[in-house]
Amino acid sequence: MKHLHVFFLFLAGCALLIACSKEMSHDGTGFPTCDYAPYTTGSSFSYIDVNLTQDTLAYTLTVSGDTTVNGNTYKMVGDDSVFFCSSCKDGIYTQIASIFTFQGYKADSLQLTYLKETAAMGSSWSDTVTISNGTLTTKAVLQHTIVQKGVTKTVNGKNYPDVIAVKLDASAIVLNNPVTIGTISTSYYAKGIGLIEADQADDTIKLVSYILKP
């Protein structure tokens, strides 16, 4: 589904996402440049979303300008139906998300750390959010794990170097015990480009082309 894309920079598995993006770079040796999400105004990213029956949806997300959330300035990225944002500082990428749904669970007003550029392969971190399933309200843990780093990945016939892959797993806390919900997605980010592919159970989103503005 197209809306899943937004959560990948989305993290995959979303029915709808509203988020925002502020990019920060650092000069000098040893500092991350935050270029795994290069959202400069006027840049655009074209994707296809292919489901299990091979139905394909094509769409283009464009960086349209700035917005302000809680006093902070962000970049807006999207089209007529969805938009997302991500924030980056010192190689740590975060999102503000609204209305995440997965296997009957729903969460509102999420703030997520979806990528840590300098983290080693195999390392994990987690976000804890409040979710509901019918009348049940509880906490959920979204665990992010770097499963590949510094690899070359081929997407739609094009090789992308310096790729980081992040797997997202979810668990619900029921009676103070974690109950596995499942793997939501594995997302691939290429240096200097951003999200190039996101795989999840029902569909795969792939980058087709992009235009980066200075």
Q: How long, in residues, is the chain?
A: 214
Q: Please give the torsion angle defined by the CA atoms of residues 212, 147, 109 and 14, in that order, rounded to the nearest 10 degrees.
A: 80
Whether 87 has a pLDDT exceeding 90, the answer reads no
Q: What percent of the chain has pLDDT over 70?
A: 71
Select from 45, 58, 68 the least CA-distant residue to 211.
45
Structural tokens at position 193: 């480009």
For the whole model, what pTM was predicted? 0.81
Structural tokens at position 161: 């170097």
Residue identified by tokens 């029902």 is 202
pLDDT at 17: 36
Tell me how crowded residue 34 is: count the other CB atoms within 10 A of its CB: 23
Domain definitions of the chain by residue range = 2-211
pLDDT tens profile 101-113: 555 555 555 678 9
Q: DSSP assignment, residue 131?
A: E
More confident residue, 133 or 42: 42
Q: Where residue 21 falls among pLDDT bands split at 50, 70, 90? A: very low
Residue identified by tokens 């902070």 is 72
Round to whole Å and give the CA distance between 76 and 66.
Answer: 6
Task: Tell me how far apart the terminal alpha carbons of the chain are, to the nearest angstrom.
Answer: 30
Q: Report the mean per-residue pLDDT for the chain.
A: 79
13-22, 32-41, 149-158: least confident range: 13-22
